[in-house]
Structure 1
Amino acid sequence: MTSPAAEFIDRTLRMEGTETRAWADEERIGGGLRFYGASVGAVRGTVRDAGRRHRDLTHDEVTALASELWARPVYERRLAAIVLLQRWVPSLVGNDLTRIEGFIRSARVDELVDPLAVDVVRPLLERLTDADAERARHIVERWARDEEPGLRRAAELVQE
């Protein structure tokens, strides 16, 4: 079942895409992802418009929407999930690192790992205090030793 917000985002990104940009992005980014060919500006605008249409999303609904968008290996959908999380960083909690770790593990390309690390994980970690901050620090330290290159890269970016 697809949520109305995810349907709106997916439909809009498909309409905003061009075959030429999709092909160019696939050549440039790759990673075995599919591409709609929507610009970064279109992705940001679509997420903004979705937020206006669905103003009362709770924390759990936002993180579920991010997961729903991420579930398909389409670059623009995954970028939309990141933009959504960027907008909601103030409401994210330490336990959201588990979901974000899953995103990083399956990101496939630095173009998705980097904004997750820099624009979502880093500001989240800066906000955490006490036991939550300590737990998050241990998670990032574990990422730095993980076999997954994306997690090691994210740990490095977060700790810069």
Structure 2
Amino acid sequence: MKEIRWLDEREMAAWTAFLEASHRVFRSVEQQLKDDAGLSHPQYEILVKLAAAGRAGIRMTELADSLITSKSGLTYQVGQLEKRGLVARRACPTDVRGVTATLTEAGRTALAEAAPGHVARVREALIDTLDREELATLARAFARVGQRLRD
């Protein structure tokens, strides 16, 4: 049996600070999006990814992978956006089993209207709290964590 390496005081402090900060930032951003745009954070991220994909859209499986969510969770969120006329789904032209999601003009407008408030809240809750060196360290550290978990 592998020996457990318990967290020391510094490691526990880093872990608990990460948990508190990430939860508070997420809740703050989520509330701003709901109040100002009527969107959940996952829905906003879907709109951002679809805008980046251009008019061709993106396959739902690729979208789920890029958002690190389940296919069923993505299907629900895209369905909610589709009901609001912000997203359209169609059969994938190269694979009869695939479905492609695209941003509608109404979706582009909704994203353009939501983005300034979202960016302002992200700045307020996280970015402007840290200096440039701290931001660079945070970006490197979380990129390494993300890469390790992708591998």
TM-score by length of 2: 0.29
Query: Which structure has the larger Rg over C-alpha atoms?
Result: 2
**Comparing both structures, which one devotes a greater share of its residues to strand?**
2
Greater RCO, CA 8 A, separation 6+: 2
TM-score by length of 1: 0.28
